[in-house]
Amino acid sequence: AAGVIQSPRHLIKEKRETATLKCYPIPRHDTVYWYQQGPGQDPQFLISFYEKMQSDKGSIPDRFSAQQFSDYHSELNMSSLELGDSALYFCASSLSGGAAGELFFGEGSRLTVL
Amino acid sequence: AQKVTQAQTEISVVEKEDVTLDCVYETRDTTYYLFWYKQPPSGELVFLIRRNSFDEQNEISGRYSWNFQKSTSSFNFTITASQVVDSAVYFCALISGGSYIPTFGRGTSLIVHP
């Protein structure tokens, strides 16, 4: 079965550069979530979208922005990168009306900021 | 507010030993959902189980079993006859308060030695 696809899987950037991560949810899933997991840390919720509108906002820095497009894929844009942004970024998707909390995670995009 | 505590940072066992991962949660809501996820060294988050607050029945799936006790606000996870492939970080997560965003615990790193 199709899963959540994230790209790129690995990304290396320098400080102050920008980066864009992409997420393609499971077909027919209408909700996308972004999480950030620092080294040795638990996943921290950043932001979510339902039907292309922002639905919940967590600890997303102002330097980051995200959107969900008409085909339901989502992009996380990160600007003025800092060393502390180095992390594994997860995207998850779910179907509204489905079982609460039944999120399907992608394999993550590992961002390294040098 | 909701909170998940996984007091065990790291557990090391020898293959075939049984091991229990502890999870204690806090929420003021009567309706909530508890989850366990596995994160192997490859990094992806793998969904293991979802439990709602109205179902305290324990569950067994192969070598995995879960003990949900509302009286102690715990949702512990036991692996019987552990195997090297069980080595991973295991996260307990909670959804409550009408939110669909899981809050994760800090995770327990399980190392199974041959």
For the residues of chain B, what is the DSSP string, one character each?
Answer: --EEE---SEEEEETT--EEE--EEE-S-SSEEEEEEEE-TT---EEEEEEETT----EEETTEEEEEEGGGTEEEEEESS--GGG-EEEEEEEEETT---PEE---EEEEEE-
pLDDT in tens, A16-42: 999 999 999 999 898 999 999 998 888
**Given a cut of 90, is residue A1 above it in pLDDT?**
no
pLDDT in tens, A68-97: 999 999 999 999 999 999 999 999 998 876
Q: Which two tokens stand for residue B54?
A: 């109205």
Q: Which two tokens stand for residue A31?
A: 């909700």
Residues of B in contact with A48 (CB under 8 A): 100-101
> Distance, in angstroms, between B79 CA and closest chain A CA?
21
Residue A11 vs residue A1, higher pLDDT: A11
CB-based contact A102 B95, cutoff 8 Å: no
pLDDT for A93: 92
